[in-house]
């Protein structure tokens, strides 16, 4: 799996840049990882609080039962009740919005409610300052297994427990009941328990970070591949192709097709370097892409310095002819502005045709969404037999635009492969329809 991720990562770095995948220094990655761990920390603390409530009630009942004498039973009950109060308080704090900001404080409170609080209570009530290492060990191991998040706060909770106990020793100056060797033995057990717990949490966190990084790399790779796919195919077709990887060919009974060609670009290529030529063409086609996006038109492809687009597919569009007409007029304006900004004199020749087409994806490699049919051929002929700086349309398109646009009858012209055809020139929208 990691080999595949690394391969995808290498390919995508070449496209979007290596800085996107530099997770060690990427602030977005660090923030999203911290947020994910906070959610995990809170959910696990809620679970541990519930377990501690159940265990606390059980132990309280046990100590009340085993202690002899009413005063001792009352003291045991008070200690158990106080500890349960702290645990329940931590449980409610886990559900508070502030818990998302300061989960570490709740973690420490939950730990110390079962270590420091018990030690302090027994010292106050019974003047008993013997180290409760069994409870400490149980708490450290429980937190390391249930809440293995951020080894540093595990270490702080352990150190805090020891510091609390040493503070009580300074205040009460206890007389120890067992030989010093007993406490050394208990201290060694406690030390290694703490080290193992902290180290296991450290290793677990390191593993989770690697898993999170791999998951994010895979998600980003999928997002980038999805974007690349949607730049090649319409969203509907991309989804259909993923679900059914076979030939896709759909009949659309009425769409409007546009062909645009940059007049003078071929002549310019003879005395302009290829990089400069490509940069100019890219700037122009990017303007056309923005117009297609604005008018809800599907770009099909570019062929050299020719641009092909269609309205009315893959999703039905009732005003397909109007959308293409508006885009064609805006393309003329965009070309004028481009010439003024770059001190050039390009002209654009546009051809438009309306009718049925077949659209789809064919072949096994290098998928491309394309159109076929007489309507496509006619639109291409309208462009190639057109006039520079003019938009030439066929009879079918004229019938859809005549009520809202300024049109000039050009007359019958001889079209290669189709004979004579009646054509019209689109000059603009009628004043009553502007705005």
340-382, pLDDT tens digit by residue? Answer: 988 888 889 999 999 999 988 876 676 777 888 999 999 999 9
Q: Residues 277, 223: contact at Cβ < 8 Å?
A: no
Residue bearing the bigger pLDDT, 364 or 136: 136
* DSSP, residue by residue, 343-359: T---EEEEEEEEEEEEE
Q: Would you list the DSSP string of 69-91? A: SHHHHHHHHHHHHHHHHHHHHHH
Residue 382 and residue 293 in one domain: yes
CATH classification at residue 282: 3.30.70.1230
Do 219 and 336 belong together in one domain? no
| Residue 258 pLDDT | 95
Residues 240 and 216 in one domain: no
Q: pLDDT band at residue 204, thresholds of 50, 70 and 90?
A: very high
Residue 231 within any structural domain of the chain? no
Q: Residue 198 sits in which domain range? A: 2-224
Q: How far apart are CA 241 and CA 233, in angstroms?
A: 10
Residues 200 and 241 in one domain: no
Average pLDDT over residues 255-284: 84
Residues 240 and 131 in one domain: no
Kindly tell me if the per-residue pLDDT of 31 is higher than 60.
yes
Same domain, 152 and 75: yes
Query: For residue 54, is it within any domain?
Result: yes
Q: Give strand ranges (E) for 142-271.
A: 248-263
Q: Do both 172 and 273 map to the same domain?
A: no
Among 191, 224, 257, identify where a domain stops.
224
Q: Which two tokens stand for residue 376?
A: 């496509």
pLDDT of residue 213: 86
In this structure, the answer to whether residues 375 and 403 fall within a common structural domain is yes
| Per-residue pLDDT reduced to its tens digit, 141-189 | 988 998 888 899 999 999 999 999 999 999 988 878 888 888 899 999 9
Residue 413 inside a domain? The answer is yes
pLDDT of residue 343: 86
363 torsion bin: left (phi>0), alpha (psi -120 to 50), beta (else): left
Report pTM: 0.57
Q: 289, exposed or middle or buried, with CB in 10 Å at 0-12, 13-18, 19+?
A: middle
Specify if 76 maps to a domain: yes
C-alpha distances (whole Å) from 318 to each of 94, 143, 311, 405 are 55, 64, 9, 17
User: Is residue 210 domain-shared with residue 322, that is, in the same domain?
Assistant: no
Residue 308 banded pLDDT, cuts 50, 70, 90: very high
**Would you say residue 229 lies in a domain?**
no
Does the pLDDT of residue 4 top 60, yes or no? no
312 lies in the same domain as 203: no
Domain end position, chosen among 203, 224, 245 = 224
What is the total count of domains within the chain? Answer: 2
């Amino acid at each position: 799996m990691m080999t595949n991720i690394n391969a995808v990562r290498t390919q995508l770095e070449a496209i979007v840049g290596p800085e996107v995948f530099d997770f060690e220094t990427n602030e977005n990655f660090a923030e999203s990882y911290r947020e994910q761990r906070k959610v995990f920390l809170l959910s696990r603390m809620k679970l541990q609080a519930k377990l501690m409530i159940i265990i606390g009630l059980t132990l309280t009942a046990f100590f009340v039962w085993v202690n002899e004498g009413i005063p001792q039973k009352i003291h045991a009950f008070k200690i158990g009740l106080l500890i349960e109060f702290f645990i329940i308080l931590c449980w409610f704090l886990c559900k508070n919005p502030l818990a998302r900001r300061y989960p570490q404080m709740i973690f420490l409170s939950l730990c110390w409610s079962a270590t420091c609080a018990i030690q302090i209570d027994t010292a106050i009530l019974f003047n008993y300052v013997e180290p409760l290492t069994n409870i400490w060990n149980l708490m450290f191991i429980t937190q390391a297994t249930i809440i293995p998040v951020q080894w540093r706060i595990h270490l702080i909770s352990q150190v805090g427990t020891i510091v609390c106990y040493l503070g009580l020793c300074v205040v009460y100056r206890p007389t120890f009941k067992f030989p010093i060797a007993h406490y050394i033995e208990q201290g060694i057990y406690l030390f290694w328990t703490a080290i193992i717990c902290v180290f296991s949490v450290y290793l677990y966190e390191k593993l989770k970070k690697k898993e999170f990084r791999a998951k994010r790399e895979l998600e980003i790779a999928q997002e980038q591949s999805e974007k690349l796919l949607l730049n090649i195919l319409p969203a509907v077709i991309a989804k259909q192709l993923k679900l059914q990887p076979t030939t896709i060919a759909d009949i659309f009974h009425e769409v409007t097709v546009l062909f645009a060609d940059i007049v003078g670009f071929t002549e310019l290529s003879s005395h302009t370097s290829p990089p400069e030529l490509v940069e100019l063409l890219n700037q122009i086609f990017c303007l056309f892409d923005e117009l297609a996006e604005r008018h809800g038109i599907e770009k099909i492809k570019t062929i050299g310095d020719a641009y092909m687009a269609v309205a009315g597919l893959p999703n039905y569009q009732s005003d397909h002819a109007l959308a293409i007409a508006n885009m064609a007029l805006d393309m003329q304006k965009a070309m004028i502005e481009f010439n003024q900004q770059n001190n050039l004199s390009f002209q654009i020749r546009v051809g438009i045709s309306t009718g049925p087409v077949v659209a789809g994806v064919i072949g096994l490699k290098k998928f491309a969404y394309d159109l076929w049919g007489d309507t496509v051929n006619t639109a291409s002929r309208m462009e190639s037999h057109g006039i520079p700086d003019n938009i030439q349309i066929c009879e079918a398109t004229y019938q859809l635009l005549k009520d809202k646009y300024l049109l000039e009858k050009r007359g019958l012209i001889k079209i290669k492969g189709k004979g004579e055809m009646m054509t019209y020139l689109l000059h603009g929208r009628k004043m009553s329809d502007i705005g």
